[in-house]
Amino acid sequence: MRQDLEVDGVSKRYGAQTAVDALSFSVAHGSFFSILGPSGCGKTTLLRIVAGFLTPDVGDVRIGGRSMRGLAPNRRPVNMVFQHLALFPMMTVGENVGYGLARRGAARAEIAGRVDAMLKRVGLPGAQDKRIDQLSGGQRQRVAIARSLVLEPTLLLLDEPLGALDLKLREHMKIELKRLQADFGTTFVYITHDQSEALVLSDRVAVMNAGRFEQIGTPQELYYDPRSSFVAAFVGANNRVSGRAMRVGEQDVELAADHGLVLRARMRGQIAAGQTVEAFVRPEAVDLARDASELSAAAQHFSGHVESLLFDGANSAVLVREERTRVDIRIALPQTGRFTDLKVGEKVAFGFESQHAVCFVAGDHGV
């Protein structure tokens, strides 16, 4: 597989702070690669290094197999879609899309033809003469992408372009972005702090924290098989229980939480008995029942009272307070409508299989 982007041992420091810490990774041709991390994790710095706006202290960036060392942004086969899109308000839509071509010295007729074709492809046929302020948020997004893709870059960088949109439009633009990427086949590198954007859009996702990648994998791998407690906590909703490892088996750990809850979970990395650990169990991995006999025999069983109901359509959940330890556990409600009559204060049983929970050494970032 051809690699369109190879980042090789790149570091960038600002004073005492390391924004990007010896990162190496590559992105395959035609794929949608996301870098997911909280604000301040260094993802914007990394993107700006790839675009050429920043020079790394050490390391090299290769795009399409060619080293980018010493190459200015306007000489790189890379284009960027900015956070607030940065469309030129003093130009029409057509002039915006044609700007890069004109800078390359393309003939006027050729520019007009390619702009026209590009606007058709992004679903804005004949919008050349419109002003930027006449477009809706979604249309601006498409113009920003068209303006970059018309230059046929090896790589398109996207800096949280959906961040400024409202929720409804953001959901719509997610689908649109994925379709555009599949359509053009251009390699996309997308940075975001929104895990749902990263999971929905990407072929592969890198979870970034404090200048390093915690894990690189498919969205499914990140979700079902997190390799660090940071990934488990950051990607998707998760119940976190911290405590001490009591008994360490071959694959399982028995953990006693600080407040007395004892549970078994799959072991990740090396854990010794007595170590401080963190376990995670997803809300949808926990089974809820009115009576303990309805739960699977293989699961570990608990009981508690409904603390609050969190109705949110398909994402509805219930917060259950465990009987003895008073730990709150979030449990997803099944879509069958079996629990629509659930009341606050009702006594329920819940359980999960140990293989659906994961356990890490506390504070262990990255495996």
CB of residue 200 to other proteins, shortest distance in Å: 25
φ, ψ for residue 236 (rounded to 5)? 75, 170
Shortest distance in whole angstroms from residue 86 CB to other proteins: 4
Token code pair at residue 270: 């090396």
Among 22, 58, 86, 237, binds other proteins (CB under 8 A): 86
d(CA 86, CA 212): 28
- Closest to other proteins by CB, 78 vs 235, is 78
Q: Is residue 83 involved in binding other proteins (CB under 8 A)?
A: yes
CA–CA gap between residue 315 and residue 340 (Å, rounded) = 13
- Our finding on whether 80 is near other proteins (CB under 8 A) is yes
By the rule CB under 8 A, 311 interacts with other proteins: no
Using alpha carbons, select from 159, 154, 226 the residue that is nearest to residue 190.
Answer: 159
The nearer residue to other proteins, 103 or 324, going by C-beta atoms, is 103
Contact predicate 124/167, CB 8 Å: no
Euclidean distance between CA atoms 285 and 40, whole angstroms: 31
Give the shortest CB-322-to-other proteins separation in angstroms: 49
Q: Is 37 in the site for other proteins (CB under 8 A)?
A: no
Q: How far apart are the first and last CA of the chain?
A: 26
Figure out which of the listed residues 2, 69, 103, 108 binds other proteins, where binding follows CB under 8 A.
103
Task: State the nearest-atom distance from the C-beta of 245 to other proteins, in Å.
Answer: 49
Is 200 an interacting residue with respect to other proteins (CB under 8 A)? no
The answer to whether the CB of 289 falls within 8 A of the CB of 350 is yes
CA geometry: angle 74, 191, 78, nearest 5 deg: 20
Q: Which of 24, 88, 315, 363 lies at the binding interface for other proteins (CB under 8 A)?
A: 88
Q: Which stretch binds other proteins (CB under 8 A): 3-11, 100-108, 300-308, 348-356?
A: 100-108
Residues 114-143 touching other proteins, rule: CB under 8 A, are none
Which residue in the set 2, 66, 84, 247 belongs to the binding site for other proteins (CB under 8 A)? Answer: 84
Neighbours of 7 (CB within 10 A): 21
CB under 8 A: which stretch of 58-66, 81-89, 233-241, 327-335 binds other proteins?
Answer: 81-89
The single-letter code of the amino acid at 320 is: V
Residue 90 in contact with other proteins, rule: CB under 8 A: yes
How far from chain centre, in Å, is Cα 249?
33
Binding mask 144-183 for other proteins (x = CB under 8 A): ---xx--x--------------------------------
Q: Which residue has the tokens 């924004």?
A: 19
- Using CB under 8 A as the binding rule, whether residue 79 contacts other proteins is answered as yes
Q: Which one of residues 25, 82, 184, 224 is an interface residue with other proteins (CB under 8 A)?
A: 82
Q: What is the DSSP string of 36-95?
A: E--TTSSHHHHHHHHHTSS--SEEEEEETTEE-TT--GGGSSEEEEBTTB---TTSBHHH
Q: How far is the CB of 83 from other proteins (least distance, A)?
A: 7
Cα dihedral sign for 108, 113, 118, 124? positive
**CA 174 to the chain's CA centroid:** 12
Instruction: Name the site residues for other proteins (rule: CB under 8 A).
Output: 51, 53, 72-74, 78-80, 82-84, 86-91, 99-100, 103-104, 147-148, 151
